[in-house]
Chains A and B, each alone.
Chain A
Amino acid sequence: MSVRRAVTLTVVILAMWGLKRHYADAEVEDLRWILWPTAQLVAAATGSPFELEPGAGYLSRQHFFVIEKSCAGVNFMIAALGLTGLVLARDSRRKNSERSGIHSREASGGSRGCAASTPLLIDDALILAQGLALSYAGAVVVNSIRILVAIGLASADLADGWWTAARIHRLEGITVYFVGLLLLDRVVRRLSANSRTAEATS
């Protein structure tokens, strides 16, 4: 692993750790930045309002469902941040080596050489900003889908024998979150490939 990639990954891991620390100490009110948009999306999809119950979370009286702290999707966001950080750091290294290849060809061809790659700090800040934006949007959307499916499953009353409501909820959560991470991985790779293509053609 190059020093550059190690620095990028360290920055991403520190951001993940910071997010985890914030989540561990946060009250429901401190998590409005992620709970509110999630509740709004779920409310728009179900057509019933979710209201903030201080200390509890966003409550739907119609569905008798609370989006509480443990439902905030922060752990998904942390996993998504790690994932996007990994993919973007790898692609940024590729991009820089492609760029430095172009520059060295230009320099040997007589044209004036220039800096081979984006300065490290700017590159890392960009990766972190893109990673945070993508993981936040991903967490809100995927968590809203998970909650919508959970509401549907709860009203379907599928619990039977060993398959308790809690186990069904856990299975559904893991499935939606993991599929969400797989899709986010595809989206990040696609965005990264598009930006590389755009840069190569410009």
Chain B
Amino acid sequence: MKAAMARAFRGAAAPLLSYYAISVVVPLLNGGAGRAAPFLEHVCFVLLVPPVLIIITGLKASPRGGPR
């Protein structure tokens, strides 16, 4: 299962990187942190939801990745 998770995160690295860059890094550079509370909530959602989706994908893939 650990291997399936690692594979899922490796496979999703480029989409995750580009999504974080646009949704967190660019607004931070544009001074989004000035609107502290709503921006913090937005960042929490953005940082948490994609890894959860990747974990779900990894869990779904893990039985297929195991020994046959």
Proximity string of chain A (1-40) to chain B, C-beta cutoff 8 Å, 1 when within and 0 when not: 0000000000000000000100000000000000000000
Instruction: Please give the distance in Å from A63's CB to the nearest CB on chain B.
Output: 25
Proximity string of chain B (21-32) to chain A, C-beta cutoff 8 Å, 1 when within and 0 when not: 111001000000
Q: Which of A170-202 contact B (CB under 8 A)?
A: 170-171, 174-175, 177-179, 181-182, 184-185
Interface of A is mostly: helix
Q: Give the docked Cα–Cα distance between A86 and B13 (Å).
A: 11
The yes or no answer to B36 lying at the interface (CB within 8 A) is no
Decide if B50 touches A86 in the complex (CB within 8 Å). no
Residue of A with least CB distance to B50: A178
Proximity string of chain A (73-89) to chain B, C-beta cutoff 8 Å, 1 when within and 0 when not: 00110111011001100
Assuming the contacts A171-B45, A175-B53, A179-B53, asked whether A185 and B23 have C-beta atoms less than 8 A apart, the reply is: no
Q: Give the docked Cα–Cα distance between A181 and B19 (Å).
A: 8
Q: Give the docked Cα–Cα distance between A79 and B42 (Å).
A: 17
Residue of B with least CB distance to A87: B14
**Which residues on B sit within 8 Å (CB–CB) of A20?**
26
Q: Give the docked Cα–Cα distance between A182 and B11 (Å).
A: 9
Decide if A75 touches B22 in the complex (CB within 8 Å). yes
Q: Give the docked Cα–Cα distance between A103 and B5 (Å).
A: 40
**Which residues on A sit within 8 Å (CB–CB) of B6?**
none
Please count how many residues in chain B sit with their CB below 8 Å of the partner chain's CB atoms: 18
Decide if B18 touches A82 in the complex (CB within 8 Å). yes
**Which residues on B sit within 8 Å (CB–CB) of A78?**
22
Proximity string of chain A (86-129) to chain B, C-beta cutoff 8 Å, 1 when within and 0 when not: 11000000000000000000000000000000000000000000
**Which residues on A sit within 8 Å (CB–CB) of B49?**
171, 174-175, 178
Instruction: Please give the distance in Å from B54's CB to the nearest CB on chain A.
Output: 8
**Which residues on B sit within 8 Å (CB–CB) of A179?**
53
Q: Give the docked Cα–Cα distance between A55 and B16 (Å).
A: 33
Q: Give the docked Cα–Cα distance between A90 and B53 (Å).
A: 25
Decide if A75 touches B15 in the complex (CB within 8 Å). no
The yes or no answer to B46 lying at the interface (CB within 8 A) is yes
Residue of A with least CB distance to B30: A24
**Which residues on A sit within 8 Å (CB–CB) of B12?**
182, 185
The 4 closest A-B pairs by CB, nearest first: A181-B15, A79-B22, A82-B18, A83-B18
Q: Which residues of A contact B (CB under 8 A)?
A: 20, 75-76, 78-80, 82-83, 86-87, 167, 170-171, 174-175, 177-179, 181-182, 184-185
